[in-house]
A and B are shown apart, each in its own frame.
Chain A
Amino acid sequence: MTATQIDSNKMPTKGAIVSAEEGINKTIVDIFKKSLEKKCFDAILIPVRVPETEAYAWVLLKDQSLLDEANPLPPIISVQGAKALRSLTKRGKMTQNIAAILRPCEIRAAVELSKLKQIHLDNISLISIDCPGAMPLSDYLADPEKSKKIYKNVLEKWGENNSVRPVCHICNRFSLPSLLPRKSEETSPVEQDEANLPSIDLHIGLLGGNQEKIFLIPVNPKGRKILEELELKSDDSLDIWQTKVSEVQDKKEKIRKEFNLELKEKIEGQEKLTAMFNECINCHNCMRVCPICYCQQCFFDSGALTLSPETYLSRSEKKGALRFPLDTMLFHLGRMSHMVLSCVSCGVCEDACPMSIPVAQIFSLVADQTQKSFDYAPGINKEEPLPLQDFLEDEFHEVETPKEVN
């Protein structure tokens, strides 16, 4: 989606500008320490560095000292944040007030999972942050020290440093606009207010702050209340941030378009697509780390596709040889048709692929096209139904009517 589609009434113009003299990370962490002190929240879900290692894990914490090692924007996405949130609230709502600090793609996945009844968002405050992208897991693990330096540069030179994952490099949904309800002409103003409330409460703006300040942007009344409780006045102008966001967004949209055109060329058609997945070893890591693939047991792991040896033999005889494990391509296409309308292009699938198949790039490209045909943007609005959940009588007539044969 583009900035022009955003309902301009929903784009906040005022927020609190907070000085970040001690660094962005510490400034944000201190704000959340204060929020625990002031009892705005009972607990915070945030990435925390595992002691004595360079690894990050999601930790739900109420002990303020645990925030010392927290990092709202680590160089990598380890577990997709929505997956962490799902493990917490799948079976019901929290009774305590939780703040979850997530990257925009993680927010979108969380909202999709709530539509899919996998997350209870009650009592959860979703807080998003401007995201410059994450580095590939393998790069980071190969040399964490070097990667941290590179990532510092990624944060300074927003959008210009190429060291982030390919899907991050072409991500145009890195900030608040990607999380705001879109303008709808079909719904009446009243309906729109009911159904079109943003899913997030607060956004942390980094763009335009030059590493010297951050923008705390309340998105709805709850967000404004949080800032009040933190004794922060939200009447600063957000012009600098907004200008920079639009600027980067325009640039990213251009990059994305070009990138996807090239990718399409590489993968279009059965032969090329099959070649892309040639090296797949059927480990299903992509599905296991995908936030949207929530099935307890994937159909492709269920044994439903186990056949008798005679069937395998006769299938082999048709072609001369039969590849094992079977159905690798069927798995990817099956998974794609199941989840791609909700794909948030977070890239964790590609990070987890031991064969370095560009899974995320392919899925993201297909997602763009399918989501567009349903005029659907995943993860924005809790109330917007999933495309395959509601039936519109007047839709896709062109697939019902065969083209005339000359």
Chain B
Amino acid sequence: MSNVLKIKKGVEQGANELLKFLLESEKVKGIFTLRKMNENGAVSYSLITHPKELQNAVPLFPLMPVNAGKILSGFTLKKAINEPIAAVLRSCELRAFIELIKRTQGSLENFLLISSTCGGVYPLKSLTDGTYKEQVSQYWESAKNAEISSDIRPTCAACEYFIPQQADMTIAIVGKNDLQQECSIFLNTKKGEEFTIGAPGNIVSEDIDTKETAKLREKRQEQKKKLFDELEKNGSGIKALVKTFAACLSCHGCSKACPICYCTLCDFDSKTHEYLPSSHEIELEQKGGIRLPPGTIFFHIGRMIHMVVSCVNCGMCSDVCPVNIPVSTIFSKVGDSLQKLFDYLPGKDIEEPVPFGTYKEEEFTEIGE
């Protein structure tokens, strides 16, 4: 059981009320949250420092233009913030931020982390083709009933980690029958409680895990199995890989959008992967034909090896792919298996080292035998 701040307003207005309180009371210096850019539904993350700018804040809007973990990492890359800032981000964004911090790509210091039980987000495509407008009307209804909203990102529909782990506050959405009348903010940490002293609303005691959240988790797990099974139907091995990545443009947009891929210059964009004409000619002689630019699948496998143990299944990679390759489904399937092998859930605990960052003498001995 934790303390819950109840604000007598619909969940979206309630969230804004909380942000307004935090900024106006000067408990925080700024608020990092999604903000409306225009009437078409375009949103972007913003650091809001003036309360009047909060009128365009849409902290729970079901779109993810960029993984916020990536932005907060850039924000604190040079050094930690020295004044409190509230950041509203989704469970997978928070997990990505924590993975990045483990890799010394940022700092949690002085952040007040506000998250929500997540109903998922729509693909960016639904914004560009305008379909999100119809979809979004049933989003809150599905969330309320602990159902999977239709048309959300495939990896969101298959995400079982929708209850954030490391947030100071969690806005409850999933399975909240009264979310149009009341906003429930779980105060998970002492910090969360301290920052809400004097906030509008009353405090009650509740459990974040409910029958309803268990129900959604079960549905998402089923969906995950279905998604992975479908992927397997496409076959496996080199032939299936060639087919799956046939249309890849080697734009590396997936890597650029990935919160975990933090290298300034990806190895696959470096000189290491520029070949001499003579090497091309030798390969041409051997094979009769070579695909150009070379290394399409090599890149995906290489990237996978580098980051998949920390993959948080946010789905950004699929969303930016210009040729609709289900990158995030593939990566999340491989990530799922690998993370299980190491008994590791990325972003769950900031103290837990990244598997490849520690060495255990007695581990995977079967491989050596």
Q: A residues bordering B, Cβ < 8 Å? A: 43, 45, 48, 50, 52-63, 65-66, 78-79, 83-96, 120, 137-138, 141, 275, 278-279, 281-285, 288-289, 296-297, 301-303, 306-310, 312-313, 316-317, 320-325, 351-356
Contact = CB atoms under 8 A, between A and B. Distances in A.
Given A88-B292, A283-B253, A297-B265, A325 B284 contact: no
Given A57-B246, A91-B274, A354-B125, A321 B290 contact: no
B274 A90 contact: yes
A91 B272 CA distance: 12
A279 B280 contact: no
Contacts of A66: 288-289
Contact of B82 (A65, A94, A275, A310): A310
Contacts of A87: 274-275, 292-294
B71 interface: yes
Interface string B34-76: 0101101010111111101100100000000110000100111
Contact of A308 (B30, B79, B288, B290): B79
Contacts, number: 220
Interface centre among A79, A275, A297, A351 (most CB of B within 10 A): A79
Nearest to A83: B293
B277 A93 contact: yes
Contact of B128 (A61, A91, A355): A355
A77 B182 CA distance: 52
10 contacts: A50-B247, A55-B247, A57-B296, A58-B291, A84-B293, A282-B66, A283-B320, A285-B253, A322-B46, A325-B66
Given A288-B251, A297-B264, A309 B78 contact: yes
Contacts of A317: 49-50
Nearest to A56: B247
Contacts of A52: 243
A55 B250 CA distance: 13
B303 interface: no
Interface in B14-46: 29-30, 32, 35, 37-38, 40, 42, 44-46
Contacts of B42: 278-279
A59 B48 contact: no
B8 interface: no
A324 B284 contact: no
Contacts of B76: 309
Interface string B254-298: 001100000011000111001111101100110111111110100
